[in-house]
Structure 1
């Protein structure tokens, strides 16, 4: 497949919320007026949505990494899940509200380009591969009595594959919340539970936009369980914890590898068949300087790092770890430049023809389990829309990850970042 097409196609995991009474589940025509693109049609325009998603990934990582509330803590999230859910939200935004969302997400302003690229991304992400599981699912959940505009629901269904389910938010908000959460659990193999917390849905809720993404893959070069040993991991200069450390030191341990003055880079590919190639890219600081790795997280630096990788024998020591994270999004997104969506000045008239809706809550949960066999990762995002009347070297290098590091799960050909995180303590949050 064309490298550019894949680069574009991996940036979409759309989370869409419900659509109202009288709307059908059948996609119709939109103002764009054209069918979803073929690979050839997308090739020339590929990269805009993916490049924007990657930049949003690094922007959000930087914001969280420098937030005192997360100081010293593990981080892990899916930028596609968040950006795609907000792209659906953006479809109904107007004026300043739309400008802010587009700026923070780095979305293409051209409607046709943006929609076609998201549509193409979904097609690639959901293409079957015998060696790994990778899928994304989108849904719209709407108050059954509320009149959403057909243009909005049609665009969501046509371009983002978001079908409509009508719920009784007015009469049964808690039952509606449980219905949405069950859907998320099913889409993520029960790895993301209770996405929408108690109280996030109430009688004033009119729309919930949800996305789920799930990945499970095995390493091309799996680790031998019998070689895993308990070893120390430095969580601070004078403090260690004991973790199970996997290792590959045999002559077949051939990986993509590079070094800079401040960190080592290791690329560990996942097995694949006819699907797109995926890998984990790990940035391991020298001298325990995690900041040096984090400061390199931008789109150009990522491209340069991947291009500098050389396939060679590497002695690899890597910890097993399992992370579960959750984030409330309104505060961080407002600080990043899109405060209007969360207040009384919000304009989502593209959804219902009025100025009565605003984003009352945004939640994101993520899960990752890294072991000898491979990696399992999942994430989900929920955007809740309420009425405004509601409250608001020369020798063989040794790569030993026994201290904090940054890691990314990357689509090989394009460099699209599927997941991103850091491990400061494999034994904790």
Structure 2
């Protein structure tokens, strides 16, 4: 790529790849002190929401890394908002199926896998995919931005070596795990099939997605096992059996895969001696005893109309978890009206008081078929994918996403993978926040403003199952 570093960072920040929320680069604890830009529609198809009563909606997001005069900041800001809107629409559709279940997903992984698929779409099919995924950039400009983001994550992972033994604010050594942020892409194509060289070269150039030849037609099961083995290796064995029996067949000609793995210690870790059993009230009103961690630290925090938000930085300072705790008894109403504007207001209201935080240890594993979900969002599954091959007869047969997260006193481990199967057609100075009821959270990469994972916790009974 010929992009200079400033432009790379700017495009990376804009292409949040299915972002669940966007924060500015701010200070070491994730502050975002500058005003930001917003549009009129969140793009989810719901009635536009101007945010909370009595609060002015700030501009959102801020692209303070854009210095190249040739970069259109308004277009990039629109792209960020579009990706946030895609994530909100995706989450809304997923929770409709199991509204009382915990959920965890990587919008980044889904977007990358489908952006690679989009590279082979043409005509109305490409337009439909772009609309469903809320892409604002087009063609090679879009893929270059995704490639820049992948490169930036690779650099972030290299810098993570510096925090293998992070230190807390008192200068004491913290024996937490080393920081890792790994992403990988790969193509799995039918041997002897006529894939277009331009398609393969584009995905190799911008996504590092080399072609692995397999024999779906002769032995689909062996091909499935090979793909699954790659996913397991790239996610530190956290994502197993991504593709299950029946997901690929002798009609499969191509599978596009993305895998992401994240491991990071907290900047302010929780003392295990302060972890104790306590009640967590689920969405159904039932109380379950869970292990609740505790810490008191200066953290980025906001409270708007009784809804609380706190940011927990990781030791490398470039990533953080943002926890959103709706007011008691208002989780469903909050989630239903949650929008880009509401997120922007909460981020704008952040200050850095001493926070007395109680937060549950938890683990979530999720697996979804996104075929109907993406169709409901308006994405064509069949149509013109002639940019992939010489035959022009491929269609999306399955979209599979699987994810994992574990949060404890030391930090967070998370992983996710996505496979797209192409078949031949045939406030105060001291505040308290007790997370003992349904909440939302996401993990972000701060310098590129990229939310990597998103989750909702509503059921305490399965929260800490081994």
8 Å CA contact 2:18, 2:107 repeated in 1: no
8 Å CA contact 2:353, 2:428 repeated in 1: no
The DSSP-based 3-state class of the residue aligned with 1:258 is strand
The Cα shift of 1:42 comes to 10
TM-score, length of structure 1 as denominator length = 0.85
Is 1:264 the counterpart of 2:308 in the alignment? yes
The Cα shift of 1:426 comes to 3.9
Aligned length, in residue pairs:
390
In the alignment, which residue of structure 2 is the partner of 1:174?
221
Matches within 5 A, 1:402-413: 402-413=436-447
From 421, 424, 428, give the equivalent of 1:387.
424
The DSSP-based 3-state class of the residue aligned with 1:53 is helix
Q: Does the C-alpha gap of structure 1 residues 56 and 361 become closer, same or farther in structure 2, counting only changes over 3 Å?
A: same
From 83, 88, 92, give the equivalent of 1:53.
83
Is 1:100 the counterpart of 2:128 in the alignment? yes
The Cα shift of 1:305 comes to 2.2
Q: Deviations over 1:226-255 (max 9, x none)?
A: 110000100146411110000013xxx111
Matches within 5 A, 1:149-160: 149-160=196-207
Provide the C-alpha distance between the structure 1 equivalents of 2:16 and 2:94, rounded to a whole number of angstroms: 23
The Cα shift of 1:43 comes to 8.5
Provide the C-alpha distance between the structure 1 equivalents of 2:101 and 2:69, rounded to a whole number of angstroms: 40
In the alignment, which residue of structure 2 is the partner of 1:121?
149
Provide the C-alpha distance between the structure 2 equivalents of 1:56 and 1:415, rounded to a whole number of angstroms: 16
Q: Does the C-alpha gap of structure 1 residues 411 and 304 become closer, same or farther in structure 2, counting only changes over 3 Å?
A: farther
In the alignment, which residue of structure 1 is the partner of 2:240?
193
Matches within 5 A, 1:189-268: 189-236=236-283, 238-249=285-296, 253-268=297-312
Provide the C-alpha distance between the structure 2 equivalents of 1:40 and 1:112, rounded to a whole number of angstroms: 21
The Cα shift of 1:283 comes to 0.8
Matches within 5 A, 1:24-173: 44=71, 50-65=80-95, 67=96, 69-127=97-155, 128=158, 129-130=160-161, 131=163, 132-173=179-220
The DSSP-based 3-state class of the residue aligned with 1:322 is strand
Is 1:304 the counterpart of 2:326 in the alignment? no
The Cα shift of 1:163 comes to 0.6
8 Å CA contact 1:195, 1:380 repeated in 2: yes
8 Å CA contact 1:404, 1:423 repeated in 2: yes
In the alignment, which residue of structure 2 is the partner of 1:359?
396
8 Å CA contact 2:319, 2:444 repeated in 1: yes
What are structure 1's unaligned runs of at least 5 residues? 14-38
In the alignment, which residue of structure 2 is the partner of 1:349?
386
Provide the C-alpha distance between the structure 2 equivalents of 1:216 and 1:426, rounded to a whole number of angstroms: 24
8 Å CA contact 1:320, 1:426 repeated in 2: no
Cα root mean square deviation, aligned: 2.3
The Cα shift of 1:40 comes to 6.8
In the alignment, which residue of structure 1 is the partner of 2:362?
321
In the alignment, which residue of structure 1 is the partner of 2:457?
423
Provide the C-alpha distance between the structure 1 equivalents of 2:345 and 2:187, rounded to a whole number of angstroms: 39
The Cα shift of 1:356 comes to 1.1
Higher mean displacement: 212-221 or 45-54: 45-54
Q: Deviations over 1:318-371 (max 9, x none)?
A: 000000000001111111111x31x4xx21111113331111111000000010
The DSSP-based 3-state class of the residue aligned with 2:417 is strand
The Cα shift of 1:58 comes to 1.4
Q: Does the C-alpha gap of structure 1 residues 216 and 209 become closer, same or farther in structure 2, counting only changes over 3 Å?
A: same
In the alignment, which residue of structure 1 is the partner of 2:326?
285
8 Å CA contact 2:115, 2:143 repeated in 1: no
Q: Does the C-alpha gap of structure 1 residues 43 and 225 become closer, same or farther in structure 2, counting only changes over 3 Å?
A: farther
The DSSP-based 3-state class of the residue aligned with 1:126 is helix
Provide the C-alpha distance between the structure 2 equivalents of 1:181 and 1:107, rounded to a whole number of angstroms: 29
Q: Deviations over 1:205-228 (max 9, x none)?
A: 100000001111111100001110
In the alignment, which residue of structure 2 is the partner of 1:8?
14
TM-score, length of structure 2 as denominator length = 0.79
Provide the C-alpha distance between the structure 1 equivalents of 2:183 and 2:412, rounded to a whole number of angstroms: 17
